[in-house]
C-alpha cells in the first residue's frame, strides 16, 4: 500500500525492466500515483506489467498530476487497474456467483461519500463477495476483482470519541481539528458529525474520512459564517454503521472583527488639507502591523 506520501507513490525510473506492480493500493499521495520511465534520450523502461491495482484519492496537492504517468515505455502492460471518480455500481454475490443485491452511486455521490451502501441482503445468508463496475459516456467497465468473502452482521457498538480536538479561530471563521478514534467499535468509520453551538450540524464525509482511519491521520474542517468576539463550542463524533458515537468537545472565542477600512489606533486621520509623506508612511506601517497580527492569530 502506497499512502500518505509527499511526491510520487512509486517511481520506476529510466532503465527499469521486467518488473511487475500487482495488487497494490495508491492513495492520499501529493503527486502522481505511479511513474514509469523517463524522458526522451534516456534509457527506456521496458516490459513493466501493472495489474490489479487500485488508485484513488490522488493527487492531493499537485493537481496537474495523474494516476499513472507513462514516459518512454515500450512493451508495457496495464490491465484490471481501477481508478475512481466515475459512476459506480456495487453488486453483492453469493460464493456461487448468484447476484443477491446491487446499489448504484453517481460520480458526485461517490466523490462526496467515497463508499456505496448495499442494502436488501437476505437475512441468515452469505457469505457474499462484492464486485464493482464503473460507467461513463463510453459505456460500462469490466467488473473489478471480487472482494474477500464477507458475512454481514449488525453493527451495534459505535466508535470511541475522536481525540485531541482543537479550535483555531479568526473573526468570522474557525478551523476545527481532531484525530480519529483509536477504537472504531464493530464497524469502520464512514464520516464525522460536527455540531456547533449556533445550532448547525456539519457532516464530514469522503475519502479523507476513510483514508484517515488506518494511521490516525489528523482531520480538520473549516467553519465559516461566525460572529466576531463570540464563544463557540464544537463537538466532533465519529459515524459508523452503528450511528454516531460519543463526541469530543472544544470551545474557543472568535477574534475581534477588523475591516480593511478601519484606521490604526493612535494614527490621526488625514485632515482635509492633506497629509505629509511622513504621516502616510506611519499609517501604512501601522496597517501592516495590524494585518500581520491577524495572520499570526489565524495560525496559532
At 221-243, the pLDDT tens digits run 999 999 999 999 999 999 998 89
Put simply, whether the predicted model's pTM sits higher than 0.85 gets the answer: no
What is the Cα–Cα distance from 187 to 181, expressed in whole angstroms?
12
Which range, 101-105, 147-151, 171-175, has the best average confidence (pLDDT)?
Answer: 171-175
Q: How confident is the model at residue 271 (pLDDT cuts 50, 70, 90)?
A: very low
Given this model, what pLDDT does residue 39 score?
62
Sheet of 77-79, strands arranged across: 17-22, 46-51, 77-79
What is the Cα–Cα distance from 226 to 205, expressed in whole angstroms?
22
pLDDT tens by residue, 19-78: 888 888 877 777 777 888 766 557 777 888 888 777 776 666 655 556 677 666 666 676
Q: How confident is the model at residue 258 (pLDDT cuts 50, 70, 90)?
A: low
Q: How confident is the model at residue 267 (pLDDT cuts 50, 70, 90)?
A: very low
The arithmetic mean of pLDDT across residues 286-290, rounded, is 43
Sheet of 82-83, strands arranged across: 2-5, 25-29, 54-55, 82-83
Which of 250, 274, 127, 128 has its CA nearest to residue 178? 250
Given this model, what pLDDT does residue 262 score?
37
Q: Which residues have CB under 8 Å from 128's CB, separation 6+? A: 92, 93, 94, 95, 100, 121, 149, 150, 151, 152
Given this model, what pLDDT does residue 272 score?
43
Amino acid at each position: 500500500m502506497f499512502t500518505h506520501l509527499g511526491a510520487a507513490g512509486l517511481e520506476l525510473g529510466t532503465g527499469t525492466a521486467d518488473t511487475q506492480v500487482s495488487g497494490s493500493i495508491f492513495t492520499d499521495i501529493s503527486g502522481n500515483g505511479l511513474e514509469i520511465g523517463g524522458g526522451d534520450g534516456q534509457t527506456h523502461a521496458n516490459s513493466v506489467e501493472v495489474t490489479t491495482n487500485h488508485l484513488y484519492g490522488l493527487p492531493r496537492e499537485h493537481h496537474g498530476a495523474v494516476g499513472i504517468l507513462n514516459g518512454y515505455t515500450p512493451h508495457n502492460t496495464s490491465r484490471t487497474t481501477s481508478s475512481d471518480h466515475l459512476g459506480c455500481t456495487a453488486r453483492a454475490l453469493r460464493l456461487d456467483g448468484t447476484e443477491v443485491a446491487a446499489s448504484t452511486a453517481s460520480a458526485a455521490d461517490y466523490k462526496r461519500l467515497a463508499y456505496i451502501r448495499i442494502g436488501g441482503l437476505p437475512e441468515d445468508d452469505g457469505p457474499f463477495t462484492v464486485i464493482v463496475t464503473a460507467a461513463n459516456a463510453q459505456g460500462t467497465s469490466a467488473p473489478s476483482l471480487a472482494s474477500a468473502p464477507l458475512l454481514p452482521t449488525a453493527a451495534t457498538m459505535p466508535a470511541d470519541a475522536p481525540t485531541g480536538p482543537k479550535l483555531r479561530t479568526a473573526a468570522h471563521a474557525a478551523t476545527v481539528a481532531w484525530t480519529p478514534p483509536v477504537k472504531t467499535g464493530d464497524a469502520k468509520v464512514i464520516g464525522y458529525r460536527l455540531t456547533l453551538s449556533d445550532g448547525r450540524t456539519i457532516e464530514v464525509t469522503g475519502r479523507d474520512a476513510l483514508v484517515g482511519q488506518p494511521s490516525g491521520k489528523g482531520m480538520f474542517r473549516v467553519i465559516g459564517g461566525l460572529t466576531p468576539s463570540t464563544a463557540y463550542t464544537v463537538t466532533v463524533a465519529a459515524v459508523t454503521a452503528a450511528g454516531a458515537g460519543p463526541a469530543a468537545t472544544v470551545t474557543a472565542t472568535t477574534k475581534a472583527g477588523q475591516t480593511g477600512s478601519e484606521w490604526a489606533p493612535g494614527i490621526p486621520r488625514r485632515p482635509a488639507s492633506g497629509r505629509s509623506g511622513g504621516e502616510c508612511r506611519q499609517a501604512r506601517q501601522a496597517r501592516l502591523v495590524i494585518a500581520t497580527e491577524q495572520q499570526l492569530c489565524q495560525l496559532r
